[in-house]
């Protein structure tokens, strides 16, 4: 399995991650009805305001997902940054993952010289890495 994501969406996520550093950034990327390509970035507030953990604001999350339903869009990606570690799911990331159908994209801002972007499926307590196909 692979994540298919628009280049412009990925650029927005990376910019947000560096802008929010050292706090973990977070959000979702949605696809239009019938599409498997993640194209529209929806930044979310990290309610935890932490360097090592992210938590969507529940009210914001409810509002955003209601709007997705109204427009026939699908949450394709849940993304966040790691500011003090590599781009690999933490124990908490795996434990709190609640959308088995979503791709979990992690951007590491830990080492500015080596930008790292990785995608995973988080299923049954396991992190399964997948390739990232960047589309124009």
Residue ranges per structural domain of the chain: 2-135
pLDDT at 126 over 70: yes
Residue 59 tokens, joined: 């009210």
**pLDDT band at 88, cuts 50/70/90?**
very high
Integer Cα distance of 14 and 30 in angstroms: 16
- The Cα–Cα gap between 23 and 71 comes to 31
| CATH level 3 topology of 2-135 | Cytidine Deaminase; domain 2 (3.40.140)
Handedness of CA 119, 122, 127, 130 (dihedral sign): negative
- Contact present, 80 and 25 (Cβ < 8 Å): yes
Mean pLDDT confidence for 52-64: 97
């Amino acid at each position: 399995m692979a994540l298919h994501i628009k280049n412009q969406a990925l650029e927005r996520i990376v910019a947000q991650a560096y802008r929010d550093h050292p706090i973990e950034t977070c959000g979702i990327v949605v696809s239009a009805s019938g599409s498997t390509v993640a194209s529209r970035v929806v930044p979310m507030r990290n309610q935890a305001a932490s360097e090592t953990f992210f938590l969507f604001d529940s009210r914001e999350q409810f509002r955003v997902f209601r709007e997705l339903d109204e427009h026939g869009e699908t949450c394709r990606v849940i993304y966040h940054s790691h500011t003090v570690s590599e781009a690999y799911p933490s124990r908490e990331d795996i434990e709190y993952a609640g959308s088995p159908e979503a791709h979990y994209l992690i951007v590491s801002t830990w080492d500015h010289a080596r930008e790292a972007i990785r995608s995973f499926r988080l299923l049954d307590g396991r992190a399964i890495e997948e390739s990232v196909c960047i589309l124009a």
